[in-house]
Amino acid sequence: PGKYADLVVLNSNPLDDIAHASDLQAVFKNGEIYPAKSLEQNPE
């Protein structure tokens, strides 16, 4: 949350349930792919 990405790949369809918007598979930024497991978790 609060970061910029070029593309976000989700595991589930956020149109089915908006909570799926946080179900990340991977993030693309500046031509690099970042698997969800490698991203820093930011508890709120």
Contacts of 9 by beta carbon, 8 Å cutoff, 6+ apart: 24, 25, 26, 27, 28
**Domain extent at residue 21:** 7-38
Confidence (pLDDT) at 42: 58
Is residue 1, in this structure, part of any structural domain at all?
no
Q: What is the pLDDT of residues 1-44, one digit of tens each?
A: 678 999 999 999 999 999 999 999 999 999 999 999 988 765 54
Q: Into how many domains does the chain fold? A: 1
**pTM reported for the whole predicted model:** 0.71
Do 36 and 15 form a contact (C-beta atoms < 8 A)? Answer: no
In a domain, residue 23? The reply is: yes
Q: Identify the CA nearest to 43 among candidates 12, 2, 5.
A: 2
